[in-house]
Chains A and B, each alone.
Chain A
């Protein structure tokens, strides 16, 4: 029997929560656990195409420490999780609509398409669901 899938609902735009999502998702994926991340709400803004790191992340004390000490970047970790394991990253259809965006407005090479909440919740019944 395969490992129990992990589903992460990323709502927050806080750097610390985006980082923790990336760390959980990438480590779980490389540990042979299928992972699905759904990006929505305030998190969406961090994934806008063309943002440099100084504009992408907004956070507290730990955000500053991570930047000052050059902790692995969340986008880099997500990319590694996709390259080295089974990690899928989707964007919430509703959040895109509210922003007036399409997938083309989002960072390249991260997203596996749009996903609705109904499908995400249905899939998540088979695994563990974490909300950030």
Chain B
């Protein structure tokens, strides 16, 4: 069963949410997921860009009430 960790980075400015996501990914197993919440619009675009660049899997990218929720699955 896929394990999902949540990171609430709301209130943090770019590149804070990205850095928190990356630190979180280092701590989970391949196949597990991280859900990061960010109120920073730049990060909402930067995070999917980073995911694509380094080769992880974007599971979900959803705009919520006042923040974005991005779910990434660790692929390597």
CA–CA, A70 to B14, complex, Å? Answer: 11
Q: Is A117's CB within 8 Å of the partner chain B?
A: no
Q: Is A27's CB within 8 Å of the partner chain B?
A: yes
Chain A interface residues (CB < 8 Å from chain B):
23, 26-27, 30-32, 69-72, 77, 80, 83-84
User: Which of chain A's residues have a CB closer than 8 A to the CB of B53?
Assistant: 31-32
Chain B interface residues (CB < 8 Å from chain A):
12-16, 18-19, 22-23, 26, 46, 50, 53-54
Tell which of A23, A72, A77, A84 has the most Cβ of chain B within 10 Å.
A72
User: Which of chain A's residues have a CB closer than 8 A to the CB of B26?
Assistant: 84
Q: Is the CB of A72 within 8 A of B23?
A: no
Contact residues of B: prevailing secondary structure: helix
- Determine which of A32, A70, A71, A80 lies in contact with B23 in the assembled complex, contact meaning CB atoms within 8 Å: A80
User: Which of chain B's residues have a CB closer than 8 A to the CB of A26?
Assistant: 15, 19
Q: Knowing that A71-B13, A72-B15 are A-B contacts, what are 18 other residue pairs whose CB atoms are under 8 Å apart, sorted by A's residue number?
A: A26-B15, A26-B19, A27-B15, A30-B19, A30-B50, A31-B53, A31-B54, A32-B53, A70-B13, A72-B12, A72-B19, A77-B15, A77-B19, A80-B23, A83-B23, A84-B19, A84-B22, A84-B23
Q: Is the CB of A23 within 8 A of B15?
A: yes
Closest to B15 in A: A27
CA–CA, A31 to B23, complex, Å? Answer: 13
Can you report 27 A-B residue pairs in the complex whose CB atoms are below 8 A from each other? A23-B14, A23-B15, A26-B15, A26-B19, A27-B15, A27-B18, A27-B46, A27-B50, A30-B22, A30-B50, A31-B50, A31-B54, A32-B53, A32-B54, A70-B13, A71-B13, A72-B12, A72-B15, A72-B16, A72-B19, A77-B15, A77-B19, A80-B19, A80-B22, A80-B23, A83-B23, A84-B23
